[in-house]
Amino acid sequence: MNPPMTQLELVTGPRLPVSLGAEIPSVDDTTEVRWFATGPLPAGVVRWFTGDGAYGFLERRSDCYRLDNRCDMGVKRRFQETLELKTRLAGPETFAVGHGLAGRIEQWRRWSPADDVIDVGCNPRWVEVYKTIMKRRFDAEGDETPLSATNRAMTGTGCDVEIAAVELSGRPAWTFAFAAFGPGDGHREAIRTAWSSLAPGCPWAGGFGPRVEESYGYPQWLARVTAALTL
């Protein structure tokens, strides 16, 4: 059973994932800052991030994650099918994004598909996470680049910014994240530049944003939530 319609879909309308045909193996290096919060995604955050539905690319999907209680590696099946591996190369360390926002920055490498890179093991434990994701992309100068189902390749230097409503075992949560990409050492500046483009009008500007202790990647969030479920 699919989860109920989220605030993202109430603002922008539901869209179904688009099949992109045969997958081409890729290896992507990103520098990321992510925060998680419990409960439903606030409507005010959705309105700010999407400009009342004018901006962003919406994707709804269900990913299955392998549980291994590691914070430096994640294994999942995107759309419950494509096997992906993500490993942490550096971090976490505290990072001042700007405009009152700070989090823990990490460097990651992702293989997709990863069937030739990792063996998922015998009888692994998997959990299903429902996601409704809204994503926006900014180039190194802070100008927005429109995203679509057929235009999502990470070329040049830039930064993807997303908000997402997520649900695991009936427990709602939401996440806000930056993922900088491209050659060279400009990832941190790309994150700051993207945030400078988004910060005006943000409910968090001026120091009311997510806290540093709420900043971590999906592997750590999964470990925390599943640990709470077993109590």
Chain mean position to CA 156: 20
Q: Find the helix or strand (DSSP H, E) in which 6 lies.
A: none
Among 126-130, 176-180, 202-206, whose mean pLDDT is lowest? Answer: 202-206
In CATH terms, the fold of domain 25-229 is Hypothetical Protein Pfu-838710-001 (2.40.320)
Residue 3 has pLDDT above 90, yes or no: no
12's enclosing H/E stretch is helix 7-12
Q: What is the pTM of this model?
A: 0.88
From the number of C-beta atoms within 10 Å of its C-beta (0-12, 13-18, 19+), residue 23 rates as: exposed
Q: Would you state the pLDDT for residue 23?
A: 57
Closest among 15, 1, 37 to 132, alpha carbons compared: 15
Q: What is the pLDDT of residues 25-73, one digit of tens each?
A: 799 999 999 999 999 999 999 999 999 999 999 999 999 999 988 999 9
For 115-142, what is the HEC assignment? CCCCCCCCCCCEEEEEEEEEEEEEECCC
Q: What is the mean pLDDT of residues 210-219?
A: 93
Give the residue extent of every domain in the chain. 25-229
